[in-house]
Amino acid sequence: MVIISESLYKSWQTLDYVNRFVLHHIIYYLCKQKTMEKEQIEAILANSSEEFLERFFETLLNEINSDDELYYKKTRHLLAASLRSEDPDDFFISLCGWSLDTLIAKVQI
């Protein structure tokens, strides 16, 4: 059983059906699985509102900025994750708008 705060419950009540559907998939992933299935990600992409996607990215940035793990460890995790991608450049371009080659060139300047 998952226990949620009253403010989170009130926030849930203000969501429309589509955003509840998307959030349900994310909660299911967090509670039941170690990795999100491709079909779940496709459902989120197909059913999410622009507002939800904006809030998701804002949350992602906040979590990146508040993570206390050392930068070199974060970099190793990002590079390892990019290896699992079909196109590692797509991974980095989706995060920041720059390819891995460009990011490395920026570091070397």
What pLDDT, on a 0 to 100 scale, did the predictor assign at position 33?
Answer: 54
Closest CA to 23 of 39, 37, 11, 6: 11
Query: What are the residue ranges spanned by the domains of the chain?
Result: 1-48
Nearest residue to 41 (alpha-carbon basis) of 25, 27, 53, 57 = 25
Residue 20: partners with Cβ closer than 8 Å, 6 or more residues away: 12
Indicate whether 78 pLDDT > 60. Answer: yes
Q: Quick one: pLDDT band at residue 6, thresholds 50, 70, 90?
A: low
pTM over 0.85: no
Question: What does the pLDDT look like over 15-71, one tens digit per residue?
Answer: 666 666 666 666 655 565 556 677 878 888 888 889 988 888 888 888 888 888 898
- Distance from C-alpha of 80 to C-alpha of 84, rounded to nearest angstrom: 7
The whole-number pLDDT of residue 109 equals 79
